[in-house]
Amino acid sequence: MLRLGTSGLRSRPTRAVLSALGIAIGIAAMIAVVGISSSSQARLNAQLEQLGTNLLTVQAGESLMGQEPELPPDALGKVRRVEGIATATSTATLQESVYRSSLSDPDATGGITTLVADQNLLGVVSGQVGSGVWLNSATETFPAVVLGSVAAERLGVVAPGTQIWLGGTGFTVVGILDPVPLAPELDAAALIGTEIAIDLFDFTGSPTTIYERSADEAVETVRDLLPPTIAPEAPHEVTVSRPSDALAARTAANDAFTGLLLGLGSIALLVGGIGVANTMIISVLERRREIGLRRSLGATRRHILVQFLTEALLLSALGGVFGSALGTAATGIMAGINGWPFALPPVAVVVAVTATLLIGAIAGLYPAVRAARTPPTAALSS
Amino acid sequence: MRSTTTPTLPAHSALNPLIMLDDVHRAYGQPPVLAVAGVTLRIMPGELVAIVGPSGSGKSTLLNLIGTLDRPTAGIARIDGLDVDDLPDRTLSALRAYRIGFVFQQFHLADGVTALDNVADGLLYAGVPRAERRRQAAVALDRVGLGGRLGHRSNQLSGGERQRVAIARAVVGDPPLLLADEPTGNLDTASGTSIVELLHELNTQGTTVVVITHDTELAGRLPRQIALRDGRVTRDSTGSGTAGALAGSSRAET
Shared domain check, A59 and A28: no
**Amino acid, res. B10:** P
Residue A39 has a pLDDT of: 85
Does A180 lie in the same domain as A123? yes
- For residues A40, A43, A44 and A49, what is the CA-based torsion angle, rounded to 10 degrees? 160
Residue A77 has pLDDT above 70, yes or no: yes
Quick check: bond before A143 cis, omega within 30? no
- Give the pLDDT confidence score for residue A379 in this predicted structure: 61
Is residue A67's pLDDT more than 70?
A: no
What pLDDT score does B45 carry?
Answer: 93
Task: State yes or no: pLDDT of A380 exceeds 70.
Answer: no
What is the predicted pLDDT for the residue at A330?
A: 92
- Would you say A19 and A279 are in contact if contact means Cβ atoms under 8 Å apart? yes
Which residues of chain A make contact with B136, given a CB cutoff of 8 A? none
B247 pLDDT higher than 80:
no
Q: B186: domain CATH number?
A: 3.40.50.300
Rounded Cα–Cα distance for residues B48 and B202 (Å): 10
- Last residue of a domain, which of A241, A257, A282? A241
- The domain of B113 spans 19-252
Q: Are residues A44 and A159 in the same domain?
A: no
Taking the CA of residue B248 and the nearest CA in chain A, the distance in Å comes to 26
A33 shares its domain with A89: no
Mean pLDDT of B178-207: 91
Closest by Cβ to B108, choosing from A293, A299, A377? A293
Q: Where does a domain end: A223, A241, A259?
A: A241
- Check residue B3 and give its pLDDT: 42
Q: Are A50 and A345 in contact (CB under 8 A)?
A: no
* CA of A302 vs chain B CAs: smallest distance (Å): 9
Judged against a pLDDT cut of 50, whether residue B1 lies above it is answered with no
Question: What is the Cα–Cα distance from A237 to A64, expressed in whole angstroms?
Answer: 8
Cα–Cα nearest to A176, from A272, A102, A112, A270: A112
Amino acid at A30: M
pLDDT value of residue B75 = 93
Q: Does pLDDT of A242 surpass 50?
A: yes
pLDDT, position B251: 42
- Residue A281 neighbours by CB distance under 10 Å: 16
Nearest-Cα distance to chain A for B2, in Å, is 34
- Alpha-carbon distance B1 to nearest alpha carbon in chain A (angstroms): 38
Buried/exposed B9-23: b ≥16 CB within 10 Å, e otherwise? eeeeeebbbbbbbee
A36 lies in the same domain as A97: no
Q: Is residue A381 very low, low, confident or very high in pLDDT (cuts 50, 70, 90)?
A: low
* Identity of residue B11: A
B105: chain A residues, CB-CB within 8 Å: 382
Each residue's pLDDT tens digit, A149-180: 999 998 888 889 889 998 888 999 999 999 98
- Answer whether residue B3 is part of any domain: no
Q: Where are the alpha helices (DSSP H) in A103-242?
A: 121-125, 149-155, 194-201, 219-230
Per-residue pLDDT tens over the stretch B65-121? 999 999 999 999 999 989 998 899 999 999 999 999 999 888 888 888 899 999 999
| C-beta separation of A258 from A33 below 8 A | yes
Distance CA B130, CA B109 (A): 18
pLDDT for res B7: 41
Q: Are residues A22 and A147 in the same domain?
A: no
Mean pLDDT within B212-238: 90
Query: Mind listing the pLDDT tens digit for each residue in B110-150?
Result: 888 899 999 999 998 998 999 999 999 999 999 888 888 88
Q: Which residues of A38-47 are buried (b: 16+ CB within 10 A; e: fewer)?
A: bbbbbbbeee
> What is the spatial distance between Cα B110 and Cα B108, in angstroms, rounded to a whole number?
7
**Residue A366 lies in domain:** 2-49+248-379
Q: B95 contacts in A (CB within 8 Å)?
A: 298
List chain A residues with CB under 8 Å of B90. 300, 302
- Between CA B97 and CA A294 the distance in angstroms is 10
**Residue B248: its pLDDT value, please?**
40
**Mutual angle of helices A2-11 and A301-338, in 10-degree steps:** 70
> Number of structural domains, chain B?
1
* Residue B179 dihedral angles phi and psi, to the nearest 5°: -110, 125
Residue-wise pLDDT for A7-62, tens only, equals: 777 777 888 888 888 888 888 888 888 888 888 888 887 877 777 778 888 888 76
Measured between CB atoms, which of A4, A302, A377 is closest to B69? A377
Residues A164 and A190 in one domain: yes
Does residue B254 register a pLDDT over 50?
Answer: no
Q: Are residues A225 and A320 in the same domain?
A: no
Rounded Cα distance between A68 and A262, Å, is 47
What's the rounded mean pLDDT across residues B199-224? 92
Q: Which residue of B has its CA nearest to A296?
A: B96
Distances (CA, A) of B164 to A179, B103, B183: 82, 9, 10
Closest residue in B to A372 (Cα) is B89
Number of domains chain A contains: 2
Whether B40 is in a domain gets the answer: yes
Chain A residues touching residue B60 (CB < 8 angstroms): 380-381
